[in-house]
């Protein structure tokens, strides 16, 4: 699946995500003919490749990202891993060259990777015996534990790996006792907490946890984050 990234979402969708998978960023513009040639090719290849994800940035609408990469010509493609550029190319390469480039980014799955892919608790625990800091394994097992109420173990597991959008979400779920955000009543709960966030650290954490579990895709999240900022500052 390809994600469109903006200046506002770049840090989370690219840098944050790159701690868990290699993120390929395709910088393009609607007026760029070679971009239209390359786009479908790289989408097809990355979609068929494990542990590599594709994001696209329209540089006309997102000059911040373009400036960060010092883009002078497009299409420009970069691979990001652990928040660092590890490879890249400029121009619309032929499909065979694009495939070879992507293949270099995706080493064969390790034994731990295969166990994590199985997804059950026993396999996840076995994977973390082999690789205690396996990001996907830690997140998956921590989420399983959080959902059944084993909050302390879930939070201890998450402490093994760098913070990311996924770790923040699962940690919030653990602190909430494994209860996903209800559709009914969540706004009333956030409104009530909002009156206490400035002086009550527990209320502030509960408020933030609700937003994390709701997720950035929920249109209410951004609004309630702005309300929090106005109350705190």
Per annotation, catalytic residue among 5, 14, 24, 35: 35
Give CA–CA dist 154/173, Å, rounded.
10
| Alpha carbons within 13 A on the beta-carbon side of 121 | 8
Per annotation, catalytic residue among 32, 102, 124, 145: 32
Is residue 159 within 8 Å of residue 127, measured between CB atoms? Answer: no
CA atoms 223, 7, 24, 68: torsion sign: negative
User: CB 232: neighbour CB atoms within 10 A?
Assistant: 9
Q: List phi, psi (to 5°) of 126.
A: -65, -40
Q: Is 5 helix (H, G, I), strand (E, B) or coil?
A: coil
Q: Is 124 helix (H, G, I), strand (E, B) or coil?
A: helix
Is residue 45 within 8 Å of residue 100, measured between CB atoms? Answer: no
Is there a catalytic annotation at residue 32?
Answer: yes
Is there a catalytic annotation at residue 167?
Answer: no
Would you name the residues annotated as active-site residues?
A: 32, 35
């Amino acid at each position: 699946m390809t994600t469109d990234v903006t200046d506002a979402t770049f840090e989370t969708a690219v840098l944050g995500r790159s701690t868990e998978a290699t993120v390929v960023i395709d910088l393009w513009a609607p007026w760029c003919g070679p971009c239209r040639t390359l786009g479908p090719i790289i989408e097809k290849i990355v979609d068929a490749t494990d542990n590599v994800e594709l994001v696209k940035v329209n540089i006309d609408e997102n000059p911040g990202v373009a400036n960060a990469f010092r883009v002078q010509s497009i299409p420009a493609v970069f691979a990001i891993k652990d928040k660092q550029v590890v490879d890249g190319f400029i121009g619309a390469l032929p499909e065979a060259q694009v495939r070879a480039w992507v293949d270099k980014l995706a080493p064969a799955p390790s034994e731990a990777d295969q166990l994590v892919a199985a997804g059950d608790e026993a396999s996840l625990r076995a994977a973390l015996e082999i690789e205690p800091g396996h990001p996907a394994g830690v997140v998956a097992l921590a989420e399983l534990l959080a959902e059944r109420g084993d909050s302390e173990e879930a939070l201890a597991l998450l402490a093994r790996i760098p913070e990311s959008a996924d770790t923040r979400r699962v940690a919030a779920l653990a602190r909430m006792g494994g209860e996903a955000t209800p559709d009914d009543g969540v706004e009333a709960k956030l409104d009530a907490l909002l009156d206490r966030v400035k002086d009550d650290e527990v209320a502030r954490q509960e408020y933030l946890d609700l937003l994390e579990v709701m997720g950035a895709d929920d249109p209410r999240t951004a609004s309630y984050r702005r309300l929090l900022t106005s109350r705190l500052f």
